[in-house]
Amino acid sequence: MSLDVFWHDDAFLHDTGSGVFEHPPSVLMDVPELHPENDVRIRNMKAILERGPLAESLRWKDGRRADPAELELVHDPRYVESIREFCAGGGGVLTWSTTVAERSWEAALAAAGTAIAASDAVLDGKTGAAYALVRPPGHHAQPRQADGYCLFNNAALVAENARRRGVERVAIFDWDVHHGNGTQECFYSRDDVLTVSMHMRHGSWGPAHPQTGAPDEVGSGAGEGFNVNVELPVGTGDGGYLRAVEKLVVPIVEGFAPELLVVACGQDANQFDPNGRQCVTMEGFRALGAAARALADRHCEGRMVLVQEGGYARSYSAFCLHATLAGVLERETELADPCAYLPDDPGHADEEIATARAVLSRYWVL
């Protein structure tokens, strides 16, 4: 079994600078930190895939820049142009956590185009499954709003590209540690794209992210019931994540019976991530990858597109990515986990899972 990995070097052009985490440098500090969404994280992800045990099973493919018109599959044309103009003017702070530089425009085009290229390879029958290793991430990008390090919604573009190419039902499974609010916004009133976000409970974080990610945000109009939010408490761990997959994600995706599975593939639910603290280990990510593979095999003839999202522990996220793709390839983790030591409580999220089931059972057989 092999997996096509789509990559474009423009991922390195996005310079987010340094400071105190997401904030500007402080005169109180001697050495500033890199912004969490930096090129080191993606360099390490690329390196571990090239050098680790999975290397023999990965086929590297060239990504591409999107034509700006392609972004209009899910984004307002005026918004697209505003991002181009902002970058051309030298960049700066788009939202409190989202910083761009002049060449971030090229990186964002490459992220979107590479994700679409991965989906085209799957839809053209050139590969059964593809992974787009892209940066900047995308799942917080709404049709007219950047946020959470995201400019354009790469996973949503993959889903809409598939719909325009004749795929009747697309499911998006997002296990990034944060709510996929941008993806939710793109498809909230539609029943042809099922959006499932499994995330740490954090609520709205301001005007740029008004969505709460709570289970009662179920969609509207024709899309009612087709937006699924699975909130999990801080520190949920492997067992709680996999219990949520078993009790909620799997039966809902199976009830929807998609023809293509899109995975918004973040590793920031790991236990050392500065943005997460969900205590998911390498083995937990391997199990998530295996669960996605099983869903794609049962319903999509194996057709699956994984799109990189978060993961900000600059070394450990790479190990967790390797484990994720090992699960997709139906292999064991194969690398020793350098960081796993916290005890795991499989029942840690049972109350939250029960709450979500009570809401979602109105729409799905659970």
What is the set of active-site residues? 140
Residue matched to tokens 């109180």: 28
Spatial separation of the C-alpha atoms in residues 326 and 279, rounded to whole Å: 19
| CB contact burial 19-45 (16+ within 10 A = b; e otherwise) | beebeeeeeeeeeeebbbbbbebbebb
Neighbours of 193 (CB within 10 A): 26
Spatial separation of the C-alpha atoms in residues 206 and 208, rounded to whole Å: 6
Q: DSSP per residue over 150-179, as a string? A: BSS-HHHHHHHHHHHTT-S-EEEEE-SSS-
Spatial separation of the C-alpha atoms in residues 179 and 269, rounded to whole Å: 12
Maximum distance among all alpha carbons in the chain? 56
State which H helix or E strand residue 303 sits in: none
Q: Where are the alpha helices (DSSP H) in 165-261?
A: 181-187, 237-244, 250-256
State which H helix or E strand residue 18 sits in: strand 18-19
Residue 33's identity, in one-letter code, is: E
CB 278 within 8 A of CB 235: yes
Neighbours of 78 (CB within 10 A): 8
- The distance from CA 84 to its chain's CA centroid, rounded to whole angstroms, is 23
**CA nearest neighbour of 184 among 149, 224, 137, 241:** 224
